[in-house]
Amino acid sequence: MAVLTPELRAEAERIKARYPAGRERSAIMPLLYLVQSVEGRVTQDGLREVASLLGITTAEVEAVAGFYTMIRLRPTGRYVVSVCTNLACALRGARGVLEAARRTAGVPTDGELSEDGLFTVHEEECLAACDAAPVVAVNFANYDRMTEATVSELIEALRRGEEPPPARGPFPGDFRLVSRLLAGVPESVGAGAPEATATAEEPLR
């Protein structure tokens, strides 16, 4: 079954055209993000579609997709909550933050989906924001200096449908929209894309 709409297939062709002629395979990651932006993860249908776009086998696409943690092959929540527990965050209490996040979101097993379908909680490696340890990212937007209390509040706010402002940049939207941004495609492209989030003109901290 086709995953991409005709409009998104046209976008897929533009993604391929970013790379030199004959080197379209380089587009595999943005194309996987594009498929993920429709499916909320990447299914076998999505892998097949990327394979057909690139003229390679589904197995080759799956081999690449399985290597990268940001391409999600398992059922995934609307919000992917990544809790860094690497050293700089661990030294500042990340273990407790991770446990609180898992408890509040209802995701006892790493990388799995909460029963309400809202959250995936994932123990993350260094997010390169160690000055703000412990760091938690929601759909790859960072929240700084988290505690067990503030991470629980963050998750409760998301559950209520709020959009808590990240430390830098705008609230990124749900996992599908974020995947669209990661594909390098403007969020306005494609049917069903949520309301545009703020632009890059947002002030920095």
Partner 1 sequence: MSEPVRILTGRWREPDTVWIDRYLETGGYEGLRRALAMSPQEVIEVVKASGLRGRGGAGFPTGVKWSFVPQDTGKPTYLVVNFDESEPGTFNNRELVERDPHQFLEGAIIAAYAVQSHTAFIYCRGEFLWPGRILERVVAEAYDRGFLGRDILGSGYDLEVVIHRGAGAYICGEETALLSSLEGYRGQPRLRPPFPAVEGLYASPTLINNVETLSNVPHILVNGPEWFRGFGPEKSPGTKLFSVSGKVERPGNYEAPMGTPARVVIEEMAGGVLGGKRLKAWTPGGSSTPFLTAEHLDVGLDFESIQAAGSLLGTGAIMVCDETDCMVEVTRRLLQFYAHESCGKCTPCREGTWWVVRVLGRIEAGAGRPEDLPLLDDQCTNMLFRGFCALVDGAVSPMSSSLAYFRDEYEAHVREHRCPVTGRGPGLVAEQGAREEAPAATTVPSWADLAEELG
- Kindly list the residues in this chain that would bind partner 1 in the complex (CB under 8 A): 18-20, 23, 25-30, 32-33, 54, 63-64, 67-71, 82, 85-88, 90-92, 95, 125-133, 137, 139-142, 166, 168-169, 172, 178, 181-182, 184, 200, 204
Nearer to partner 1 among residue 6 and residue 55 (C-beta): 55
Question: Which CB, 6 or 20, lies closer to partner 1?
Answer: 20
How far apart CA 167 and CA 133 sit, in angstroms, is: 12
Our CB check for partner 1 shows the closer of 3 and 137 to be 137
- Supply the minimum distance, in Å, between the C-beta of residue 187 and partner 1: 11
Burial of 95 (0-12, 13-18, 19+ CB in 10 A): middle
Q: Are strands 119-124 and 136-138 parallel, antiparallel or unpaired?
A: unpaired
Amino acid at site 201? E
Decide whether 106 or 184 has the Cβ nearer to partner 1: 184
